[in-house]
């Protein structure tokens, strides 16, 4: 992939910048207080109206037809203004499974609601006894005429409390290898028999849930692909999930913000960025991030040609989340450094109470990044086996 932008790429960058300036500023203007999810919904609707909600989807399904360079430009510019990435469950996870493995009926029924943000999705993979060893999942789906009757429990289900639909792995056979008896179902969260129970995480927020399925009736028409072949579809989704988790553009922006903060004068004229303990950390993270960015560009270029993402998504996830955690730790330490005496130009928003709280919350919530989407140890096993051939 050529990262020297052509005149056409530069014109595209101007177009993206103009759109972001107008649309993101407008969304922020409407919601001056941080309202989390509401801003995200509003933002996604703007992207949809612009036709830019799903850059990685095929054009015939609602994608943009952008080149790898254009996708890179969009991501970089989007992160640079602080606009959020789209919610991954519909657009980056189940959407690609539906347009790749679903039938025409399913594409017509589900893809529009994902694109226009009317339908919100959650991921029903993990169970109390099945996380890293996902194939040992036990939630059972038994045929009853044109329906399956689903019984079992899912856990760590992110934002299930807000989801309209759940894409769910269920066991439809106990014959042969565990991977061979899994099917991929789309479940309407309003179906009788579904109970969603909150799980509060270390940051004291409600992101996660337990989802109990008690005799839940799901039409066979909501099964993606063949019965017992769900593992193949589930794995393709995981590769998309891991690539999306890497978050390079957002990490670049967070690091740039911190650098600006650290370069401001405080503490009797001492700048944090001049202190060796911070300088080294900035330099280390920057070098790692640049290396990851080039790896991501290679994956994007391959995806633009119709390949993957394959096992290299494990490397992206592994390094990307490690860098996110290093940045969160640096932010926390900077907050502590500024905690003593603040002088000069720094605003209270940056280093005062709200900055410290944000730093603490991000640090705590970010600990989970090396667990979700497949833990570090599991990504290392995959890399050893399929990349290094060990
Ligand atoms: C914040 C958060 C959000 C999540 N959201 C979702 C969601 O929306 N939907 C969903 O389905 N799941 C979700 N998960 C679940 C996540 O995918 C699992 O937590 C993850 O796959 C690990 O599984 P586990 O928790 O059962 O840990 P385990 O698999 O029990 O692992 C425990 C420890 O053993 C290590 N380990 C396990 N197997 C091996 C091995 N073979 N070799 C070496 N070490 C190993 C692991 O690395 C880990 O350190 C979420 C998790 C978190 C923390």
- Which ranges of the chain does DSSP label H, i.e. alpha helix? 7-30, 37-50, 68-80, 88, 95-101, 104-115, 230-245, 248-262, 276-304, 312-339, 348-351, 353-366, 376-382
Alpha-carbon distance of 340 to 333, in angstroms, equals 12
User: Distance between terminal CA atoms of the chain?
Assistant: 29
Give me 13's structure tokens: 């960058």
Distances (CA, A) of 30 to 83, 118, 168: 14, 20, 36
Place of tokens 């990044």: 369
CATH topology of domain 246-387: Butyryl-CoA Dehydrogenase, subunit A; domain 3 (1.20.140)
169 near 137, Cβ under 8 Å?
yes
Give me 303's structure tokens: 């995806």
Place of tokens 């790429």: 9
Would you tell me the crossing angle of helices 68-80 and 7-30 to the nearest 10 degrees?
40
* Residue 89 CB less than 6 A away from ligand 1: no
Place of tokens 């099964």: 223
Mutate to test the pocket of ligand 1, among 132, 153, 199 (most ligand atoms within 8 A of CB): 132
Over residues 166-225, the pLDDT tens digits come to 999 999 999 999 999 999 999 999 999 999 999 999 988 899 999 999 999 999 999 999
Using the predicted structure, report yes or no on whether residue 331 has a pLDDT greater than 60: yes
* Secondary structure (3-state) at 388: coil
Using the predicted structure, report yes or no on whether residue 385 has a pLDDT greater than 70: yes
Highest mean pLDDT pick, 208-222, 247-261, 330-344, 351-365: 208-222
Which of residues 39 and 342 earns the better pLDDT score?
A: 39
Which of residues 304 and 362 earns the better pLDDT score?
A: 362
Mean pLDDT computed over 353-357: 69
Which residues are the active-site residues?
241
Over residues 127-155, the pLDDT tens digits come to 999 999 999 999 999 999 999 999 999 99
In ligand 1, which atom is closest to the CA atom of 377? 47
Rounded to the nearest angstrom, the distance between the alpha carbon of 58 and the centre of ligand 1 is: 31
Alpha-carbon distance of 234 to 229, in angstroms, equals 9
Over residues 56-82, the pLDDT tens digits come to 899 999 999 998 889 889 999 999 998
Give me the percent of the chain exceeding a pLDDT of 90: 66
- CATH for 121-230 is 2.40.110.10
**12: confidence class by pLDDT, cuts 50, 70, 90:** very high
Mutate to test the pocket of ligand 1, among 90, 122, 156, 201 (most ligand atoms within 8 A of CB): 156
Give me 191's structure tokens: 């179906």
In ligand 1, which atom is closest to the CA atom of 154? 11
* Residue-averaged pLDDT of the chain: 89
In ligand 1, which atom is closest to the CA atom of 129? 26
DSSP 248: H
Rg (Cα) of the chain, in Å, rounded?
22
Alpha-carbon distance of 207 to 201, in angstroms, equals 7
Over residues 86-115, the pLDDT tens digits come to 999 999 999 999 999 999 999 999 999 999
Alpha-carbon distance of 317 to 311, in angstroms, equals 10
pLDDT recorded at residue 160: 96
pLDDT recorded at residue 342: 47
- Give the number of residues written for the chain: 390
309 preceded by a cis bond (ω within 30 of 0) = yes
Q: What is this structure's pTM? A: 0.91
Closest CA to 56 of 240, 314, 298, 245: 240
Alpha-carbon distance of 313 to 243, in angstroms, equals 5
The alpha carbon of residue 31 and the mean position of all alpha carbons in its chain are separated, in whole angstroms, by 23
Rounded to the nearest angstrom, the distance between the alpha carbon of 134 and the centre of ligand 1 is: 9
Which of residues 53 and 2 earns the better pLDDT score?
A: 53
pLDDT recorded at residue 77: 95
DSSP letters along 183-236, please?
EEEEEETTSTTEEEEEE--TTS---EEEEEEEEEEEEGGGEESSTTBHHHHHHH
Identify the helix (H) or strand (E) that includes residue 75: helix 68-80
pLDDT recorded at residue 115: 97
Using the predicted structure, report yes or no on whether residue 353 has a pLDDT greater than 60: no
Using the predicted structure, report yes or no on whether residue 250 has a pLDDT greater than 80: yes
pLDDT recorded at residue 73: 93
**343: confidence class by pLDDT, cuts 50, 70, 90:** very low
Alpha-carbon distance of 203 to 51, in angstroms, equals 35
**361: confidence class by pLDDT, cuts 50, 70, 90:** confident
Closest CA to 377 of 326, 323, 309, 314: 314
CB atoms within 10 A of CB 122: 26
Alpha-carbon distance of 127 to 138, in angstroms, equals 8
Place of tokens 């992939």: 1
Give me 125's structure tokens: 């993979």
Place of tokens 């539906």: 98
295 near 316, Cβ under 8 Å?
yes
pLDDT recorded at residue 340: 47
Using the predicted structure, report yes or no on whether residue 25 has a pLDDT greater than 90: no
Give me 350's structure tokens: 């940056």
* Secondary structure (3-state) at 157: coil
Alpha-carbon distance of 293 to 311, in angstroms, equals 17
259 near 283, Cβ under 8 Å?
no
Would you tell me the crossing angle of helices 68-80 and 276-304 to the nearest 10 degrees?
140
């Amino acid at each position: 992939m050529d990262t020297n932008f052509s005149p056409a790429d530069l014109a595209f960058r101007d177009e993206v910048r103009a759109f972001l300036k107008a649309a993101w500023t407008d969304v922020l203007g409407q919601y001056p207080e941080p309202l989390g999810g509401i801003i995200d919904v509003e933002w996604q609707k703007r992207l949809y109206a612009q036709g830019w909600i799903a850059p990685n989807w095929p054009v015939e399904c609602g994608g943009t037809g952008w080149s790898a360079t254009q996708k890179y430009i969009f991501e970089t510019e989007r992160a640079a203004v602080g606009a959020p990435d789209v919610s991954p469950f519909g657009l980056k996870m189940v959407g690609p499974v539906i347009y790749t493995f679903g039938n025409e009926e399913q594409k017509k029924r589900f893809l529009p609601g994902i694109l226009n943000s009317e339908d919100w999705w959650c991921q029903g993979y993990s169970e109390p006894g099945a996380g890293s060893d996902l194939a040992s999942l036990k939630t059972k789906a038994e045929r009853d005429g044109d329906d399956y009757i689903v019984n079992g429990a899912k856990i760590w289900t992110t934002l299930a409390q807000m989801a309209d639909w759940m894409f769910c792995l269920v066991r439809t056979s106990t014959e042969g290898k565990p991977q061979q008896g899994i099917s991929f179902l789309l479940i309407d969260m309003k179906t009788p028999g579904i109970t969603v129970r909150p799980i509060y995480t270390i940051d004291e927020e409600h992101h996660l849930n337990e989802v109990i399925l008690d005799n839940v009736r799901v039409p066979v028409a909501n099964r993606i692909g063949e019965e017992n072949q769900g593992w193949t579809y589930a794995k393709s989704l995981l590769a998309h999930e891991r690539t999306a988790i890497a978050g390079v553009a957002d990490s670049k922006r967070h690091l740039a913000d911190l650098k600006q903060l650290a370069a401001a004068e405080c503490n009797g004229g001492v700048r944090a960025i001049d202190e060796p303990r911070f300088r080294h950390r900035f330099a280390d993270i920057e070098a790692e991030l640049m290396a990851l960015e080039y790896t991501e560009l290679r994956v994007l270029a391959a995806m633009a040609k119709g390949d993957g993402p394959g096992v290299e998504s494990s490397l992206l996830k592994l390094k990307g989340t490690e860098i996110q955690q290093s940045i969160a730790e640096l932010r926390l330490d900077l907050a502590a450094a500024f905690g003593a005496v603040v002088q000069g130009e720094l605003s209270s928003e940056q280093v005062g109470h709200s900055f410290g709280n944000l730093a603490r919350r991000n640090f705590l919530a970010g600990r989970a990044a090396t667990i979700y989407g497949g833990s570090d140890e599991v990504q290392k096993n995959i890399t050893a086996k399929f990349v290094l051939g060990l």
